[in-house]
Amino acid sequence: MQALVCRKPGELTLEERPEPRRGEDEVLVRVRRIGICGTDYHIYEGSHPYLRYPRVIGHELSGEVLAAPRGSSLAPGQIVVVNPYLSCGVCIACRKGKPNCCVNISVLGVHCDGGMCERISAPERNLYSARGLTLDQAASVEFLAIGAHAVARAKVAPGGRVLVIGAGPIGLGAAIFARLAGGDVTVMDRDAERLAFALSAGAAARSVEADDRAPESVREATGGEGFDFVFDATGNRASMEAAFGHVAHGGTLALVGVLATDLTFSDPEFHKREMTVLASRNALRADFEAVMAAIEGGRVPLERLLTHRASLNSVVYDLPRWATEKRGLVKALVEIA
């Protein structure tokens, strides 16, 4: 079986790996589509905080069931969406219904080998029927679920003023689902091309450049009041710390991007505004289901988001190139026939 392995930062190889062994409660899946995520680029570049090399990357997956346990609701030939967050089921987070932040979580392609390969074996509870979605659509559910989860965590209300900082795929997902929740969405980014794309794709109603004038632009856009809901999807310390200043009194800040260091903020400003600050990690089954329903209902502009493609043979060359050549790139998919 062929698999794409990141042996160390800056080194990708296509290798032969043993066939996966299917456990009693696991389903054998033929992988058909793999989305390339910012996480994959960070692993390649060596900037991911939770990874040990070597690693088979890939966690945005759709596939076809090859074999399932007796009595399973899944059948051979069925197309599935893969939830890559493998949880223990017994820790305090799992007992609270939050397997997305399981104490012992193992994320495919990060903590354990992922799905940039021909076949995987995964627990049945982590596989969801694609319900008529195409392979491309099914592979796009996971990255969109990250934004959907953040919006659900923040409880975006109809008419609420929303600022999404970072117009990459995760930020676009947050913007799309904030709009679907009835929010009045503005996007902020340093890249003019990304801002233009967000507007043309219908992810947001307006944009703000993340330049030296950003605080002033936020005041102008909100009559000096700030935004009711702010989502930072950058994973950039300066951006995340500045985001505190964009929140209205009584507003909510959701930190979607993760950072491998500390953040600092002004406690007087934090208390004065009685802000709510949320961490948003991964996604729940309910978020996957919400995304699948939105895609099925034609409410997500996936035809605009899926911009680049590769094969398993070519991605060993394409991924390093896309790590630096970002022009026109939103989301890349790897196709396995």
DSSP 250-319: EEEEEE-S--SS-----HHHHHHHT-EEEE--S--HHHHHHHHHHHHTT-S-HHHHEEEEEETTTHHHHH
For the structural domain made of 147-279, what CATH number should be given?
Answer: 3.40.50.720
What pLDDT, on a 0 to 100 scale, did the predictor assign at position 48? 77
What pLDDT, on a 0 to 100 scale, did the predictor assign at position 50? 75
The CA distances from residue 159 to 16, 57, 77, 147, 248, in Å, are 53, 40, 43, 18, 14
Domain parsing of the chain, residue ranges: 2-139+301-335, 147-279
In this structure, are residues 255 and 280 in contact, taking their beta carbons and an 8 Å threshold? yes
Angle between helical axes of 169-180 and 141-154 (0-180°, round to 10): 50
What pLDDT, on a 0 to 100 scale, did the predictor assign at position 177? 98
In this structure, are residues 256 and 231 in contact, taking their beta carbons and an 8 Å threshold? yes
In this structure, are residues 21 and 121 in contact, taking their beta carbons and an 8 Å threshold? yes
Query: DSSP label at 157?
Result: P
What pLDDT, on a 0 to 100 scale, did the predictor assign at position 267? 96
Alpha helices (H) in 140-262, listed in sequence order: 141-154, 169-180, 192-200, 214-221, 237-243
> How far is it, in rounded angstroms, from Cα 62 to Cα 108?
13
What pLDDT, on a 0 to 100 scale, did the predictor assign at position 194? 96
What pLDDT, on a 0 to 100 scale, did the predictor assign at position 24? 87
Query: DSSP label at 16?
Result: E
In this structure, are residues 230 and 256 in contact, taking their beta carbons and an 8 Å threshold? no
Query: What is the token pair recorded at 319?
Result: 């991924």
Angle at 206 between CA 205 and CA 210, to 5 degrees: 145
The one-digit pLDDT tens for each residue of the chain (337 residues) are 999 999 999 999 999 999 999 988 899 999 999 999 988 998 999 877 778 899 999 999 999 999 999 999 999 999 999 999 999 999 999 999 999 999 999 999 999 999 999 999 999 999 999 988 999 999 999 999 999 999 999 999 999 999 999 999 999 999 999 999 999 999 999 999 999 999 999 999 999 999 999 999 999 999 999 999 999 999 999 999 999 999 999 999 999 998 888 999 999 999 999 999 999 999 999 999 999 999 999 999 999 999 999 999 999 999 999 999 989 999 999 999 8
Domain with residues 2-139+301-335, CATH architecture? Alpha-Beta Complex (3.90)
pLDDT, tens only, 130-174: 988 999 999 999 999 999 999 999 999 999 999 999 999 999 999
pTM score, two decimals?
Answer: 0.95
- At 177, is the secondary structure helix, strand, or coil? helix
